[in-house]
Structure 1
Amino acid sequence: MRKKEIALTKTVCIIGAGIGGLMAGALLAKEGYAVTVLEKATKVGGSAGAYVRNKHTFPTGATIAFGLEEHGLLDTLFNELDMNIPYTLLDHPMDVVLEDRRISLYRDRTAWKEELGQVFHERKRDVLAFWNRVEQISAGVFDVTATGVSLPIQHMYDLGKLPGHAVFHAGSMLRLARYATRTVEDLLRIYKLDTYEPLRQFLDAQLLDAAQTDCTKAALLPSSLALTIYGRGSFYVDKGMSQLSEALAERIIELGGEVVKASAVNELFYKDKKWHVKSRKRSGTYDLVINNSGISFGPRTSHSESNQFSWGAFRIDALLNGTFWQQELDGRQLPFALQIVPDKAQSVLYSDGHGPVYVTFQPAYDKRNKRIEDEVMMTCSIHADTEQWGLLSTGEYKQLKEAITKAMFTEIQKVLPIEDYLIYSEAGTPETYKTYIGKTSVGGFPLTVRNAILKPKSVRSALPQFYIAGEQSFPGPGTLSSALSGSHIARAILKEWPIT
């Protein structure tokens, strides 16, 4: 009987151990599929993973999780996998620092509304009315997302539970339809706030991080959810965001699959209705392939071939003396983040970099993930244009890297005296990402109306038995969205390629 079961299963190769591919892999392994994950790096997680440097474990990107609240989008998926993720709910996760004011983000709705009114006091009534409408739209978008709908609709099951939801929530659906092709800028105009610069700067800072674009181009529907998501809950995962991916990888193994690290794929082709995959440590044939790497392995194997613009990142990893936490952060809950809108005089941060300097202070861990009590870890990043870095000479590259590092530290120093506590720092460019993860772009495609609503990227490719997971596919950028793309793929495979 056991041999018969093995013979009738289907084999799935997942290229890239980001959270999208791992989520798909875990959901499929639970249903009896034979899952193999091939990862180029020595750790899983991709843009929400970790790496070891200077005997410390640093995050590769994301530091705060969303969707882990009870019945949240990510919580629902982990419950389906019978997984329990240790986390801490954050009440005050971030401050956004503008030139003339500072906005504190609070989970509590009453505290947040008070903050909005005080900080944007010049237009208090209009700002609160605008935000109430954003929340109303966001609630509708969340409910639709929770139905499991996957765009573009190619099969009836891509609708998830949306038809039933639409029947009982016709008013909300009509409202969303009315705003479907609107941008955040359009909503600002309705409330005559499009010329109110403080609010625009705040929204741009938040949106560039979450939607990879600013008010003028950010699609209103997904952006409304991004702008209000801190109110639903933001979370620090114990020992860092990489633990989400580590837990999913362990779950795949528990369910009979395998996760092979340090095994970059170097050949991929389709023959005799099978995918032939060769990597450093594994070679084999598979019924199905999920590309979660964001890298092309030939025509139609990745959405990166579309040549659409995608941001890269310039980042600094640093360690601070532990006294910084008490003396400068007043012992507040960690992690704590800052989005700092740079001074216009910092031309280097506007010519190559773009948007806010994003800084996160968090607990420090050694290479074995053991807490280091007398240190605080600081990660800093800014969006960067990927193209110019590969064209620079060695001297130009070094000079620009030093200039951006200095400018970022200068902006942070204006807010908190980090240089008094600095133990270690190291900067990385888009070319650094290319060396370690094989690509310079790390944020997916901007959530414009075209990308998010009119022509979203499907989790299906034009190739047979081949799927694309991660930030490049619907729903788009971010760890939560990547995980959802993986769940959409798992559902598609279960429907299209069931185990008989």
Structure 2
Amino acid sequence: MDYDVILIGSGFGALTAAALLTKRGLKVCLLEQAKYPGGCATSYKRKGYWFETGATTLVGLDDHMPLRYLLNELELNIPVRKLEPPMQIHLPNRQTITRYGNLEEWIAEAEGVFGKYKQREFWEHCYQVSRQVWRTSLEQRSFPFSNFKDLLLSIYRIRAAQFNLLPAAFNTMQDVLEKYGLHQNQLFVDFVNEQLLITAQNHAGEVNELFGATALCYTLYSNYYVDGGLINLVNPVVTYIISNGGAIKYGQQVKIVESLRKGYKVTTGKGSYFSRFVISGIPLNNTQELFSDKSIKKRLQPYIMPSEKLNGAFTMSIVLSGEIAPSVLYHQVHVPEGLPVIGSKSIFISFSHPKDGLRSKAGELVASVSTHVAHPEKLQITEKGQIGNAILEALELAGILKRESIIYNKSATPGAWIFWTNRAYGAVGGYPQYKSIKPWQMKDARLDHKGAYVCGDTVYPGQGIVGVCLSGIIAAEKLWQDHY
């Protein structure tokens, strides 16, 4: 065998699994079709500027959270800047609300904008659920169960407090809003729905309470900025893998994975590689197409989501000159009338830190803009200018930027995401949460119960750097548990 483990893609889930398995002495190789590592959690260089590829907000470094666990295991220290406050939201009524990182400050802010009625009770409840979810996620690394050993290990690791989370798996965030009588507060409902769309890819009526409470509370944990972009979160992990005997090969788009009597043959456009185990770090839609083993295709089919259930993104990479950096770097702007063509009702924008000299020149700011595109396969965007102008108009109206300050502006559609990342339909953000799919019904890390595994944002637990990091931890744990 060329390697113990071949990983398809170098998204943060695959990088996490590769690093943890490298630490345990396995010889790993990541095959990446692009020229940068990190997938949707990285940065790319264009015209001398560093832009974020997808994710921009960095959380997960607090105690009992996956990213902290990973960096502690690898003994890595990532230089970061803590953001306080983490975000501002520009609401449909033109009010601006600041998402403070301190719970008491945030409750006071929410009461001032949405009214005092039940805001404290709602947010204290969500925060309590989110804290327990994060603690449980690392304690129960055999979840979701797919063999008897998983179940035994989970029973061994169980704590009484974990039972308190069970009812939340059957409730939606709409149920929680109704419980506290907040479902008739339309301004608050709009706020909750657009915030959930960022982190859970769906609205309150579909997102279950476990994921929804955790998603709504991510600004109540430490939020960070990485100078030079998220590539500088990714690169130390890559360096760790290589320095410990692993490898990463770029420009290697995997064409087919074949199951052998012992191990796997992974063929790219540049040759074939052999390994004892394989981990797919790409979406389930893409993973299903790669494996020649019909039993794997059949096993994956119940978990595959079609385009009509997914989201793509319309993105803009912007450089501003002579503009004063905003005091808050992350903003969500509501567009109640919806953007033309795509109908999205909110825009997310992040700015480079004014003291970050790696992403742009002095006196310049880099901004990354994104908004959702539902059913990306169906909607063929031919005229980007109309959407881009509407986005800039909304950002200018919110007082976030001035169009005359823009010296570079490049827009991209889901079609560009297909070209950049090869993700099916150009879908980004992972699989959305749906109330019909309980956490234990999400795809777990095993593909064939022989030596093939999967991680990333389309399997449990889902979206965001911290979520895919956890999926990589679970994939590495289950591989080791099964074979060593």
Fold match by TM threshold 0.5: yes
- Which residue pairs with 1:185 in the alignment? 174
- Which residue pairs with 1:388 in the alignment? 378
2:171 partner letter: R
Deviations 1:280-328 (A, max 9, x none): 4452211111111222314536968723422111100000014332xxx
Q: Is the 8 A contact 2:6 2:279 kept in 1?
A: yes
Residue range with higher mean Cα deviation, 415-424 or 313-322: 415-424
Q: Is the 8 A contact 1:324 1:421 kept in 2?
A: no
- How far 1:364 sits from its partner (Å)? 8.1
2:436 partner letter: R
Deviations 1:146-199 (A, max 9, x none): 3133432124664697546644xx3x4343222221000001111111111011
- C-alpha distance in 2, partners of 1:369/1:267? 38
- Which residue pairs with 1:313 in the alignment? 313
Matched, 1:480 2:480: no
Q: Secondary structure at the match of 1:487?
A: helix
Q: Is the 8 A contact 2:453 2:479 kept in 1?
A: no
Q: 1:240 aligns with which of 218, 225, 229?
A: 229
Change (3 A) 1:78 1:490: same
**Structure 1, unaligned runs of 5 or more:** 1-6
Change (3 A) 1:12 1:78: same
- C-alpha distance in 2, partners of 1:492/1:204? 35
- C-alpha distance in 2, partners of 1:279/1:457? 26
Q: Is the 8 A contact 2:344 2:372 kept in 1?
A: yes
Residue range with higher mean Cα deviation, 414-423 or 66-75: 66-75
- C-alpha distance in 2, partners of 1:251/1:454? 33
Change (3 A) 1:183 1:422: same
Q: Is the 8 A contact 1:149 1:159 kept in 2?
A: no
- Which residue pairs with 1:3 in the alignment? none
Count matched residues.
468
Q: Is the 8 A contact 1:322 1:375 kept in 2?
A: yes
Deviations 1:431-464 (A, max 9, x none): 0010111121111111223334251111111363
- How far 1:24 sits from its partner (Å)? 0.3
- C-alpha distance in 1, partners of 2:16/2:481? 17
- C-alpha distance in 2, partners of 1:206/1:65? 16
- Which residue pairs with 2:138 in the alignment? 146
Output aligned runs, 1:365-384, within 5 Å.
Answer: 369=358, 371-384=360-373
- How far 1:274 sits from its partner (Å)? 2.1
Deviations 1:65-91 (A, max 9, x none): 111124533111111111111111111
- C-alpha distance in 2, partners of 1:50/1:452? 33
Q: 1:406 aligns with which of 369, 389, 404?
A: 389
- Which residue pairs with 2:406 in the alignment? 422
Q: Is the 8 A contact 1:92 1:105 kept in 2?
A: yes
- C-alpha distance in 2, partners of 1:310/1:324? 37
Matched, 1:253 2:222: no
Output aligned runs, 1:313-462, within 5 Å.
Answer: 313-325=313-325, 329=326, 332=327, 336-344=329-337, 346=338, 348=340, 352-363=342-353, 369=358, 371-385=360-374, 386-389=376-379, 392=380, 397-399=381-383, 401-416=384-399, 417-439=401-423, 440-462=426-448
Deviations 1:460-489 (A, max 9, x none): 113631111100111111111101111111
1:105 partner letter: R
Q: Is the 8 A contact 2:82 2:222 kept in 1?
A: yes
Q: Is the 8 A contact 1:360 1:379 kept in 2?
A: yes
Change (3 A) 1:316 1:235: same
- Which residue pairs with 2:121 in the alignment? 129
Q: Is the 8 A contact 2:344 2:373 kept in 1?
A: yes
- C-alpha distance in 2, partners of 1:131/1:259? 43
- C-alpha distance in 2, partners of 1:270/1:176? 39
Q: Secondary structure at the match of 2:457?
A: coil
Q: Is the 8 A contact 1:117 1:127 kept in 2?
A: yes
TM-score by length of 2: 0.91
- C-alpha distance in 2, partners of 1:140/1:478? 18
Q: Is the 8 A contact 1:151 1:456 kept in 2?
A: no
Q: 1:200 aligns with which of 177, 185, 189?
A: 189
- C-alpha distance in 1, partners of 2:321/2:429? 31
- C-alpha distance in 2, partners of 1:160/1:449? 27
- C-alpha distance in 1, partners of 2:101/2:331? 16
- How far 1:272 sits from its partner (Å)? 2.4
TM-score by length of 1: 0.88
- How far 1:429 sits from its partner (Å)? 0.4
- C-alpha distance in 1, partners of 2:350/2:16? 26
1:317 partner letter: S
2:334 partner letter: V
Q: Is the 8 A contact 1:12 1:35 kept in 2?
A: yes
Q: 1:118 aligns with which of 112, 135, 158?
A: 112
1:321 partner letter: S
- Which residue pairs with 1:4 in the alignment? none
2:317 partner letter: D
Q: 1:210 aligns with which of 189, 199, 202?
A: 199
- C-alpha distance in 2, partners of 1:154/1:485? 15
Q: Secondary structure at the match of 1:137?
A: helix
Q: Is the 8 A contact 1:318 1:377 kept in 2?
A: yes
